[in-house]
Structure 1
Amino acid sequence: MSQQQAGRPGSGDTGSQKWDQFGDAYDQPTFSGTPRTYVIASMPRSGSHMLGHLLHGTGQLGSPLEYIHTQHLATWQERLGEPTRAATLQAVMRRRTSPSGWFGVKAHWKQFADVMDDQEVMAVLSPQDWIRITRSDKVAQAVSLVIAQQTKAWISFHQAKGEPVYDADAITKGIRAFQKQESAWDTFFETRGITPHVVVYEEMLEDPARTVADVCARLDVPVPAVLPEPGTTRQATAVNAEWRARYLAESGSR
């Protein structure tokens, strides 16, 4: 194991690790109690990354990242040297739980579905509450997905690799995938009698302070006096608007 992997993984230049969940930029003071866990139930291109950074910025709601993504869990397990995935998640909780006692996780449906039958992991996760983020404009969401897939620019600071090429079939495929994922979350919550707190992407963009205040109220922590910086910016450009308008026009003429 390298020196960087010993102890807290990724310790060093926090500036270069701002977007690396394995670095120490998201670490909290070591937490020794039993955390309260909330899960951000999300979908790709729904604004969950921005929401997670807003909540992290409160200093009270952990550092909600994709910890239960199976590949991420495997990386954490290798770096921390824990014997099981459940023990690995416990170790992550110790370093990513806020002094308030809250630990946050962000998960798209497939990421959650991949671990929901792992009884040991779920026993450790044991969510006390759920934040569901959704995006009203599924066409815009699918356009964003296709552009990100083509350019590999998944977050606002990523450098785009090439110019995107309009693909109506890919947009349609994205819309259907989002509808399927949203239905899966619907079924999960309904069958378990869970009423999550809902964040709508478009409303978060319009009033991020209100979004943060509402989540803080839901999780019973004080609303920060100063709104944290979201850490990311909206990626949509004129290309997104052009593709969306073109897709809607073509769909209406079919």
Structure 2
Amino acid sequence: MYGIDRGYIIAALPRTGSFLLCEMLATLGSVGYPQEYGLLDDGATWSGHHGHASHIAYFYDFFRFCSTRNGVFGCKLMWPQFAGLRRDIRRYTRIGGGGLEPIEAMTGPLKLIFLDRRDIVMQAISLVRAMETNIWSSYRTLPPPRLTYSRTAIAGALSVIEENRQLWETFFVRHAIDPLRLFYEDVARGEIAALLPFLGVETQQRPAHITQLKQQADDQSRAWRDRFVAESAA
């Protein structure tokens, strides 16, 4: 489809630097243009951002604009988007199957990159802040949001992240998938040397670690982490 013969999925957890990794890969111009998939109820993505009049039109176009001319497709999906994409493939094309089969019918063989984060407390705090402010990424430095520390909210975010982690891990085991495992902390430093060999890319070029994205963690985040850890230890 659209000349696609292979690809990859960045299987992401919330607040793991997935936008940054997508930007880095897009700089190569030969390993797809990985973007997230907009579900039917995510009109801000498929209509507002991409300008499609209907979700089905966006669905078919998604595979085209995530691909480079050499036939490589790339996208980044949180678990709900991954499950939703498989459902939409069945809905719009009648293509079924288990595991990666529905998506691979559209893209060819897929490899998976699992994007996680070592500091799970900071990950949860980042998720709480993003949900409270509805700011998920920014290209400018923003003033610290006026938020109140909530141990309950952080603990809830930890549970959400762990639930999604287990959904991915269960899927990998069930379908005998061995993903390349990357961590936010390494991506933020540009340390992704294993990525291109895993994707089978033969190029002297390396993903450019040039971005206007601003890191959203700040002194407030670190203070919340210290307080949460201290309270947990007590």
> Could you state the TM-score of these two structures normalised by the residue count of structure 2?
0.81
DSSP-derived class of the 2:85 partner: coil
Out of 163, 168, 178, which is 1:185 matched to? 168
Partners of 1:198 and 1:145 in 2: CA distance: 21
DSSP-derived class of the 1:46 partner: coil
Q: Report the Cα offset of residue 95 of structure 1.
A: 3.4
Q: What are the Cα deviations for residues 128-152 of structure 1, in whole angstroms up to 9, with x where unaligned?
A: 1111100111111001111122222
* Amino acid across the alignment from 2:146: E
Kept in 2, the 8 Å contact 1:39–1:129? The answer is yes
Out of 105, 112, 117, which is 1:135 matched to? 117
Out of 80, 91, 114, which is 2:84 matched to? 114
Out of 163, 174, 194, which is 1:214 matched to? 194
Given the superposition, is the C-alpha separation of residues 90 and 236 from structure 1 closer, same or farther in structure 2, using an over 3 Å criterion?
Answer: same
Given the superposition, is the C-alpha separation of residues 190 and 155 from structure 1 closer, same or farther in structure 2, using an over 3 Å criterion?
Answer: same
DSSP-derived class of the 1:45 partner: coil
RMSD: 2.7
Out of 50, 66, 69, which is 2:39 matched to? 69
Given the superposition, is the C-alpha separation of residues 246 and 161 from structure 1 closer, same or farther in structure 2, using an over 3 Å criterion?
Answer: closer
Given the superposition, is the C-alpha separation of residues 140 and 156 from structure 1 closer, same or farther in structure 2, using an over 3 Å criterion?
Answer: same
Partners of 2:37 and 2:143 in 1: CA distance: 26
Partner of 1:199: 182
DSSP-derived class of the 1:150 partner: helix
2:198 paired with 1:243: no
Q: How does 1:1-254 map to 2 (within 5 A)?
A: 32-70=2-40, 71=42, 75=47, 79-80=51-52, 85=56, 88-117=58-87, 118-119=89-90, 120=93, 122=103, 123-125=105-107, 128-157=110-139, 159=142, 162-206=145-189, 208=190, 210-211=191-192, 213-221=193-201, 222-224=203-205, 227-253=208-234
Task: Report % sequence identity.
Answer: 29
Kept in 2, the 8 Å contact 1:68–1:105? The answer is no
* Amino acid across the alignment from 2:77: A
Kept in 2, the 8 Å contact 1:69–1:112? The answer is no
4+ aligned runs moved over 6 Å, structure 1:
none
Partners of 1:249 and 1:176 in 2: CA distance: 19
Q: Report the Cα offset of residue 176 of structure 1.
A: 0.8
* Amino acid across the alignment from 1:197: L
In structure 2, stretches of 5+ residues that fail to align are: 94-101
Q: What are the Cα deviations for residues 3-30 of structure 1, in whole angstroms up to 9, with x where unaligned?
A: xxxxxxxxxxxxxxxxxxxxxxxxxxxx
In structure 1, stretches of 5+ residues that fail to align are: 1-30
Given the superposition, is the C-alpha separation of residues 43 and 124 from structure 1 closer, same or farther in structure 2, using an over 3 Å criterion?
Answer: same
Q: Report the Cα offset of residue 161 of structure 1.
A: 8.7
* Amino acid across the alignment from 2:72: W
